[in-house]
Chain A
């Protein structure tokens, strides 16, 4: 088989990124990663992937700029409101029976989903007994998540989503608006641990009752998806819950038998008790 020159360069670039900086994108789904790398190469002003690779190896300042293209995901608060409604109506009654809870937002990016869950748990009276872990491989995204500041023009959509998700309060109770920005209340972060964590290379770090990981695994190839689902299986308490993105499922995973299809339409799975 002959490879296109560009594909050889991309493979070497991803290898360089791993060996030099331990960020492993080698088992990401190829078409998306290629598209993101092309945007990075063009916007960072490199003629070839080899030139970008040379800069990356010799200048650590290139790393965060490249990671910005490879990892940042634009999300919404309460994206897919029916997912949050299903959590509220179907998952919360189970979680209520535990004296203390741990929730993991894996691949939290800039925090939209994290704040959505914290607000939902506060509305349901469970925030005080819950510890939230928000992890991502992109440190700059985590810093943004921790700041809890979003452009004000996105709040109309967030508010509408929140309402459709069965919100029991007004979203405006949780942020203050100034200079075109909405700044979310720091009390929402009191029960949150922000941490660098890679689903590709890192391990289990605590026992969880609920894991939300949406539109992250969609970027992984089959093998890496399986590793990640195995990691979630090992992280979940028995009868703990796993929420995935609207177009993700466990059907093809070798771990599918460890989970119950709990809320099929909303892609919420429950770890079996065995």
Chain B
């Protein structure tokens, strides 16, 4: 198995509670960069980075365009922009039209990360009430990456992890605590 090099996470309705189980569990010394897309109302300043900075042991940033990726950092997509990973391990933002009504879009992040990291990527689809992330997770699975969905039976909104699981049947359904434990083991 290829050693993991990055983690991508997508979440929508119920995101705050779900991420609050996973992100604060990551310990100092966690070596991988973590990229997170959360669906947000746009035209509003995001306070996600601030909220999680207070809760997490890792560095937490709102992603900046052309920023060089550093391991052990958590990057949130800013509201109203797509977040992409470049193959030269920079971040990029785009204001291309929303995908499935979402900007940032989980699919856009996942597809670019699949391209940049291939089999060395861990992707996680959490709670949400729409199918964003399903196409992206399928591509990550096809590229040999590790696909995980929050167990829909446990999710606040089961549609998103359910749709992702259907698109990528090889994905492992795990409860939030199991996802945190999995990340601690990589």
Contact = CB atoms under 8 A, between A and B. Distances in A.
Interface in B72-110: 78, 80-81, 84-88, 92-97, 108
Contacts, number: 52
A interface residue count range (under 10 / 10 to 19 / 20 to 34 / 35 or more) = 20 to 34
A67 B173 CA distance: 42
A30 B86 contact: yes
A264 interface: no
Contact of A32 (B43, B84, B88, B116): B84
Interface stretch (A95-103, A193-201, A235-243, A245-253): A245-253
Interface in B31-85: 43, 64-66, 78, 80-81, 84-85
A27 interface: no
Interface in A215-231: 215, 218-219, 221-222, 225
Nearest to B99: A35
B93 A35 contact: no
A35 B108 contact: yes
Interface residues of B, number: 23
Contacts of A247: 64-65, 78, 81, 93
A52 B43 CA distance: 37
B64 A29 contact: no
A8 to B, nearest CB: 13
Contact of B65 (A34, A74, A218): A218
Interface string A13-32: 00000000000000001111
Interface in B107-135: 108, 111-112, 115-116
Given A31-B112, A248-B65, A36 B96 contact: yes
B92 A32 contact: yes
Q: Which of A29, A225, A245 has most chain B Cβ within 10 Å?
A: A29
B87 A30 contact: yes
Contacts of A36: 96
Given A31-B85, A31-B86, A247-B81, A73 B95 contact: yes
13 contacts: A29-B84, A29-B94, A30-B86, A31-B92, A31-B116, A32-B84, A32-B94, A35-B112, A73-B96, A74-B97, A225-B66, A247-B64, A247-B81
